Structure 1
Amino acid sequence: MIDSLGKYDITIDFDKMFTHNATNIYFSENDINTAKIRAKLVKKNEVINLTGTTVSIRLETITETIDDIATIVDATTGIIEYTFPTNTLIEGVNFFVLFLTKGDGTKASPKLAYKVLDSIEGTGAVEGTNEYPILIQLISDTNKAINKANEAYNKASSMQNDLGEVIDNANSTIDATNIARDKANEATANAENKIVDVENRFKELTASQQQDAEVIDARDREVSLKARLERDLANTNKELNKIKKLEESTVSTVITDKEFTVVEETSNGYFEDVKLEGKTLVNIKKDSNMDLLYASINEEFITNVVKTPNSISYTTTKKLDDWCYISCPINLNLLKPNTKYTVIFGEHNNLSSCAIQEGSFSGKITEFASITNGVALLTTVSEFTTLSQVLYILIKNEGPVDVKAGNIIIIEGDYTQNPPSYSSYFEGLKSVGDETDKIVVSSVDGDENLCDGVTYINGGLTSVGGRLSMTFSDSFRSYVVKGIEPNCKYSIKVKNCGNRFGVGSSVYYSNSTTFDVTNSIIHSSPDATGQELDLSITTGKHDRYLYVYVTNNNVFHSKIEIVVNKGELKPNSVFKQDKKQLLYLDTQDSTWKKPTLREWDTVEKHSDGKYYYHRRSEQLVLKGNEEIYLDKTHTDNLCFRFAELKTWSNNSRLISDKFKNEHNVYDTDKEGIYYTGVLRANILKSKLETQDVAGFKKWLQANNVTVVYQLAEEEIYECTNIGLITCDGETNYLIESGPICPKTTLKVHNNISNVVNLLQKKVSLLENKFIEGLKSVLAGDMQSLAYILYPEDFKNENDYIMMLPIEPM
């Protein structure tokens, strides 16, 4: 909406991949007094708190791209304002995008359009009596076009109620509709002015003069009526072509950190300008074993305790009478004050809450936070100086329960909305592409069969502890659909399934260990006679994988047929996939290799249409055999300097699995690592056997330190093409890159054909009427033309013009 001062109040939802708001933004050319917006920023209809956030704006005009800063009016309610500078008020349709930057993270809004009108645009004026053909032809044409346009517009409005968010998001199409309506309004206004003036003049003419004026003026300054109609028909076709091209020019940007993303309303084409951004994460959990601690009164009620290097499980036989918790050591020197940490439990059962505390609960580092679906978010306090920090995990003490905690990942930042895969446990420092032999991107037609019939695990649905779990065995086989949507219904049909048919959904994926399934169902009577069987299942709120369990006891049918559909069953649907492996050409040995996309690295498309790997970082492992010097002695720490590293970027931010990036460790008595021309590391004296270079080298030999750093100069390598086919309707995007997923940016053509077809029909109606009356026009018989084109306008000879109302803008 727009207020009395001309300022637009809009809402921008950062969760929606398309422009979500149908508000039309119009400014006058070179008039900064009215070129203002006030926007409320939300995500999933919830206000975005802008405290500590910079809101920047990128404006894409017809002539240039301009970056600027928006004003935060109220951070807590997500309100911003922006006044468009003169150089952004270029006549035509321009675009802008908002960026929210907080710390190292940046979120982009949908792309929004604003139209700038020519400051001298007006309705025009009647120049003389010889403009009567505009009354005869323009009014008639306009009236009929308006009538048909209103019918089509009403249909489109009705469809909007059914299409809901999709139509609301098709901002480009709506903008085209508004432009068409603007033209119709303008034509109507011109016609109304001319009606008043020309009708009065026309009545003053004799019958003969009227007929002569009608024939001559109908040419509209053309040499003949035929030329006039050819011109108008050509203009109509030109407008039709513009609308057809709208479908080609409607491109949305999709940004995701997930390994699986559903892109709706796509058209047959390609994901264009795919960009992958590297990422490096550090699990601050220590490699040492977890432990189970409890009050002695509980000892007789705790049984079946099993400890592995990364997990612990046990059973309680009753509700415990006193405290009991699991402890997990973490790396003290990686913990930062006033910082959020996400805790992901790769294995979890009956866990209640967790917190980081000093040993034996003697000091609070974080408050306890609930564990929901294996994920918790903790925030550290502003100051702590303890030497012993532990992640304490409390259980649900509700009676006899089976408890399990394992494969714990603790990473800096808030990843609660998109945690690393529960099945992608990693230790220490990992980047995109680590722990996998290849990086693969793929697209799958989301409206067709989602099962490739090839990917399976050696596992089956069996009863474990009174519930169905996916149990590993070479005797079982379950086909896998990766990247399913949570809280979504899926329908499954199988043929020749053997002696078992079941379906399970889970957050986990493994081909070697037993894991839990969220929801599952077994068909009551499977057989091997070729009968078609079907089941349906609704996935859990965090599920990512669907398993179709079809064989048991080594019964593997060679002609099994599986169809998995989102929603209702589509028995004849087929699996459609486009799959590409990411490789780069190493110019040193002319071989194609898998890249590792660390922090600061990207893969992006260049103007020559090819993809390139921008390598801006490197990884170094300090093993204690480097040239090292004792640089300075602090009270608690020793500062060591490494020999000069010429390829490093000066003042590079470092990411390490053992040390924090601590600014200027030379002058700070804090443990950490830092680079400013030379690499220095501070380490506590208490960690070294001898407080000298030899002691530090011995420590490094036992505790290798991995460091990711920025290169002084980036290196660019040609890559394989990772442009993927998109499908008509819904396309699923997947990336397999090891435990860490890159940030992916995709440009995709929207499928707005249904709405575009309505606009095409509006124009074609007028085109068809022109063709119908062509013979009459060429004969100069204007009265016959009028009856052919618009008979309803001539029901009363004393009221021969009937202006049809148009809905106001």
Structure 2
Amino acid sequence: MKGIFINVDSYNSEGIKTIQGNNNAEIYKIYVLENKRRLNLANKTIKLGYVMAGTTKGDIIENLNITNAEQGEITFPITNRISKQDGVYSCQLAIYGADEFLEYTATFGLTVEANIFTKIAGEIADSKDFTYLENILDKASKLSEKLKENTSSATNANSNLESNITEANNINSKLLENTSTATSLNKNLESNIDLAKEVKETIKDLDNKNTEATEKIETLTGLNAKATELSNNIQQGLPLNSELVKNVESAKTANNELIATNNDAKAKKTDLDNSLEEAKKYISGLDGSKNPVQMQLDINELKNGLKSNQALAYKGSSIAANNTLEGRTEGMMIGGRTLVNLVNIRKMILGDSSKEIAFENDIIKFKKAYPNEITYLKVPFLSKPNTTYTIVYDVIKNNVEQPDESKYIIYPDGVFGDFNSTMNTFPKNGQIGLNKICLNSKSTLFGTFSLGFHRVNVGAEIWIKNLMILEGDWTNKEIPSYFEGLKSFGEAEKVEDKYKISISSGYNLIDTKKSESGAYLYNNGNFVSNASYKFVTIEKNEGILQSNNIATGIDVHITYWENENFIKGVILNKGESIEIKPPNNCNKIRISFNTRITEIVFIKYNKKDILIKEPLKENDIMYEDNGQVKVCRDKSQYTVTGTGNEEIAKGTSLSNTCLFYFNINRKIGINNIISDKFKTKNVFSVDEEGIFGSANSSTIYIRISKSKLSTQDIEGFKTWLKTNPTTIVYQLATPTVEVVENCVDIDLDTYQEKTYFNILNSLPGTLDFKVPSNIASIVQNTAREVNNIWDVINNLLVPSIVKANGNITMIKLNNNLK
């Protein structure tokens, strides 16, 4: 049973995490808090609504089970109703009073991880495609029973064989009399070969349905158990084969030409006929060319087909792939990305708070200088109506004492919802590290919001840096490193005249189960013992350190050592992953982590650097083709500077804005434009700022506020561009393809059980590939058991009969079977 605390009056970082298809395997205790105290739920009813992120798919669960009203406790079992579909969900508790009026709401997250076995599972119980395999196993089972029955007879025959060895020299002539009988028997065997087509067609049908075999793997589990039982029965007969071989070798030593009496030959003929009746059920898999080994080849082809279907597809920038096999990825494609940081801290407005806010080295420093006044900063950004945005920043200092939490706010200024919806979003007392706030813009815009606090102690300070506003919901995504303006994948990693794309795969070096207590944390040159932390020690390695559930602040400390002598320390902030590059004199790395962290990994990676001519922009794709690595470019980039290279013309002016346009000599698509200075919107006849293109032409239009221009003409616009060069990424009418020099392969190594894949650039794109996996192991095991059955037929039954009767035609057949 797990427990989470949900606040009705503050942001909730805790949430529920489960696996797709979970049905009553987990029960959560939800404790509802108000002002950090348990909320009394007496005479209350509670509903839970949930919706998948980015969609309208969701449901409402009525009347949650209140198990301890005074302690605010709700018991919430995870059922397949809520875990039916994998994805990220937003959840909201609605708490109603006795009069059915809504009194409280609280929002938190739900993550349903994909269940690979659920995805591949199918309904195959009545599928005729697999009845063939069941029939084969049924026949094999019957053969096993027959082998058991024949054990006693075979033992008696062996005893008779030993007694007859001394008579072999006297009855050699009798063997000739049996030749005609053996010849007739051989014709019998040849006529049975005609039955090969039936099972041959069955094998072909199984091969055609190979893909469905992987999807319908669950039913085969039961069949595998049958095959295992059959294999055990067959194994019991193997000692008999060994004894038969030894005795036959003795017979050959005694007399190279084994002879039986006429009566004994007739008895052997009867045994042969009985055995052949069992053998032909399986030998019927041979084709008309009398090639008994063909069925074995077909089974190998089927197994190879099953193996090819073990590759699972993955896509993302940071991926942990389970159930992997040692090998290589397949079909690796690297996708580009272009982002815009919609805020420019150098153009913020201090307003009336200039005495309380300072900018130093790109750090925004808030300080409460006067009581009963609001300390805030106006933040302009390129906002669009009815759009989701994520505000990201790092808090590096926070010494607020006993704050009034209801006054830690982001003021909406008409952009983000109503006033109350944006309260409680600023960091609480002492909290430092990464902060992410996801909000939706309104239909009416002012283009700014205000960041600040109110009603805190005089002298309180909060310092923030790396402020970014990104379009979209980044709540459950890895945040790129801080950047300004418009940037694309690889642009920050320029090497001379090329741009470096760095990708890696690796495996985990840390076993948290072997962690030790009594960790010492490194803090400003000092070591402080902390009982809430454990530590692990590993040998010197380069790699990536990740933690999947850092709660708040600094929960991971990395220290480098040389023979127990401390060298230096590094910290891992909330929400970060960090690339570890130990100093040259380091031989040990010690990683200390908070006990509430359930998974921390140190990935020893296989790194690959790829140098390309330009960064990978949005929708650009890098891939392999005929032994070459190529880049299909869907986007291009242009910077207009106002220096005279562009032929700028003036369009229609409106009350507050002027329209200008110019050509870039490439056809572009309308609305497929991203700019670092203007929002993308067709404002041809709209009196607001924006940038847009004309479909299937080379013209780009910019509408700009008159207040930004020294003169409201082309020269005034060029003057503005010289101090505000505007970068534009636009879609090409026809994609171009370029070959990457000195690179023939972008696939990565995979490792046993679990492999981690990462993009190491500061602004990552996406990896799209397939990786070998062992999900079809059940089918492989079943095929292996069928193969074992054939080994018994080939190596035990037929050879023993052939050697016991000296039939030359059967010897030829035996050679083919081997």
With the length of structure 2 as denominator, give the TM-score of the two structures.
0.56
**Other-structure match for 1:483:** 544
SS in 1 for 2:384: coil
Shift of 1:177: 6.2
Shift of 1:433: 1.4
**Other-structure match for 1:463:** 524
Does the Cα contact within 8 Å between 1:357 and 1:363 map onto a contact in 2? yes
SS in 2 for 1:709: strand
Identity fraction in percent: 21
2:751 partner amino acid: C
**Other-structure match for 2:425:** 370
Change in CA separation of 1:702 and 1:445 when aligned onto 2, cut-off 3 Å: closer
Does the Cα contact within 8 Å between 2:490 and 2:500 map onto a contact in 1? yes
2:629 partner amino acid: Y
Which whole-Å CA distance do the structure 1 matches of 2:414 and 2:528 have between them?
Answer: 36
Superimposed CA distance per residue, residues 17-56 of structure 1 (whole angstroms, 9 cap, x where no aligned partner) = x99999xxxxxxxxxxxxxxxxxxxxxx986267469xxx
Superimposed CA distance per residue, residues 680-712 of structure 1 (whole angstroms, 9 cap, x where no aligned partner) = 111122222222222222222222211111123
**Other-structure match for 1:157:** none
Counterpart among 655, 666, 677 of residue 658 in structure 1: 677
1:246 partner amino acid: L
Does the Cα contact within 8 Å between 1:47 and 1:77 map onto a contact in 2? no
Superimposed CA distance per residue, residues 34-84 of structure 1 (whole angstroms, 9 cap, x where no aligned partner) = xxxxxxxxxxx986267469xxxxxxxxxxxxxxxxxxxxx999889xxxx
Counterpart among 718, 734, 756 of residue 697 in structure 1: 718
Does residue 1:613 correspond to 2:621, yes or no? no
Q: Could you say which structure has the larger radius of gyration? A: 2
SS in 2 for 1:242: helix
**Other-structure match for 1:748:** 771
Superimposed CA distance per residue, residues 297-331 of structure 1 (whole angstroms, 9 cap, x where no aligned partner) = xx9xx8xx8631521236779xx963544425223
Does the Cα contact within 8 Å between 2:223 and 2:782 map onto a contact in 1? no
Which whole-Å CA distance do the structure 2 matches of 1:360 and 1:567 have between them?
Answer: 38
Shift of 1:243: 3.5
Gaps of 5+ in 2: 1-15, 24-48, 58-80, 87-112, 149-210, 230-266, 428-432, 512-520, 530-538, 596-600, 806-818
SS in 1 for 2:547: coil
**Other-structure match for 2:40:** none
Does the Cα contact within 8 Å between 2:628 and 2:739 map onto a contact in 1? yes
Shift of 1:544: 1.0
**Other-structure match for 2:616:** 597
1:544 partner amino acid: S
Change in CA separation of 1:119 and 1:385 when aligned onto 2, cut-off 3 Å: closer
**Other-structure match for 1:430:** 487
Shift of 1:651: 2.3
Which whole-Å CA distance do the structure 2 matches of 1:174 and 1:48 have between them?
Answer: 26
Which whole-Å CA distance do the structure 2 matches of 1:517 and 1:480 have between them?
Answer: 23
Gaps of 5+ in 1: 1-14, 23-44, 54-74, 81-106, 125-130, 146-169, 189-206, 451-459, 469-477, 489-504, 508-515, 551-555, 585-592, 782-809
1:125-524 to 2 correspondences below 5 Å:
139-141=142-144, 175-176=216-217, 178=219, 214=274, 217-218=277-278, 220=280, 235=295, 238-239=298-299, 242-243=302-303, 246-256=306-316, 258=317, 260-288=318-346, 307-313=359-365, 322-331=372-381, 334-350=382-398, 355=410, 357-358=412-413, 367-368=422-423, 370=425, 374-386=434-446, 389-394=448-453, 397=456, 403-421=462-480, 424-437=481-494, 438-448=499-509, 461-463=522-524, 483-487=544-548, 517-520=554-557
2:315 partner amino acid: I
Which whole-Å CA distance do the structure 1 matches of 2:633 and 2:114 have between them?
Answer: 24
**Other-structure match for 1:716:** 737
Which whole-Å CA distance do the structure 1 matches of 2:779 and 2:284 have between them?
Answer: 34
Which whole-Å CA distance do the structure 2 matches of 1:704 and 1:226 have between them?
Answer: 77
Which whole-Å CA distance do the structure 1 matches of 2:488 and 2:417 have between them?
Answer: 35
Change in CA separation of 1:243 and 1:328 when aligned onto 2, cut-off 3 Å: farther
Does the Cα contact within 8 Å between 1:461 and 1:549 map onto a contact in 2? no
User: Bigger shift: 242-251 or 136-145?
Assistant: 136-145
2:422 partner amino acid: E
Which whole-Å CA distance do the structure 2 matches of 1:273 and 1:402 have between them?
Answer: 52
Does the Cα contact within 8 Å between 2:220 and 2:779 map onto a contact in 1? no
Does the Cα contact within 8 Å between 2:634 and 2:734 map onto a contact in 1? yes
Which whole-Å CA distance do the structure 2 matches of 1:751 and 1:409 have between them?
Answer: 42
Which whole-Å CA distance do the structure 1 matches of 2:122 and 2:502 have between them?
Answer: 35
Does the Cα contact within 8 Å between 2:668 and 2:733 map onto a contact in 1? yes
**Other-structure match for 1:70:** none
Change in CA separation of 1:280 and 1:533 when aligned onto 2, cut-off 3 Å: closer
Does the Cα contact within 8 Å between 1:617 and 1:709 map onto a contact in 2? yes
CA RMSD of aligned residues (A): 5.9
Which whole-Å CA distance do the structure 1 matches of 2:522 and 2:789 have between them?
Answer: 63
Change in CA separation of 1:567 and 1:734 when aligned onto 2, cut-off 3 Å: farther
With the length of structure 1 as denominator, give the TM-score of the two structures.
0.56
Superimposed CA distance per residue, residues 612-661 of structure 1 (whole angstroms, 9 cap, x where no aligned partner) = 1112222111222332222112122211122x333132425110111111
SS in 1 for 2:546: coil
Does the Cα contact within 8 Å between 1:638 and 1:682 map onto a contact in 2? yes
1:65-76 to 2 correspondences below 5 Å:
none
Does the Cα contact within 8 Å between 2:139 and 2:281 map onto a contact in 1? no
Does the Cα contact within 8 Å between 1:448 and 1:565 map onto a contact in 2? no
**Other-structure match for 1:668:** 686
Change in CA separation of 1:426 and 1:140 when aligned onto 2, cut-off 3 Å: same
Change in CA separation of 1:235 and 1:461 when aligned onto 2, cut-off 3 Å: same
Which whole-Å CA distance do the structure 2 matches of 1:763 and 1:143 have between them?
Answer: 17
Superimposed CA distance per residue, residues 548-592 of structure 1 (whole angstroms, 9 cap, x where no aligned partner) = 988xxxxx74x7355989999xxxx999643322234xxxxxxxx
**Other-structure match for 1:48:** 52
SS in 1 for 2:722: helix
SS in 2 for 1:653: strand
Does the Cα contact within 8 Å between 1:337 and 1:383 map onto a contact in 2? yes
SS in 2 for 1:370: coil
Superimposed CA distance per residue, residues 144-185 of structure 1 (whole angstroms, 9 cap, x where no aligned partner) = 99xxxxxxxxxxxxxxxxxxxxxxxx9976735645867999
Higher helix content, 1 or 2: 2
* Number of residues of Structure 1 aligned to a counterpart in Structure 2: 564
**Other-structure match for 1:648:** 667
**Other-structure match for 1:633:** 653
Does the Cα contact within 8 Å between 1:262 and 1:732 map onto a contact in 2? yes
Which whole-Å CA distance do the structure 1 matches of 2:542 and 2:438 have between them?
Answer: 33
Does residue 1:545 correspond to 2:578, yes or no? yes
Shift of 1:367: 3.1
SS in 2 for 1:700: helix
Change in CA separation of 1:630 and 1:255 when aligned onto 2, cut-off 3 Å: same
1:685 partner amino acid: K
SS in 1 for 2:346: coil
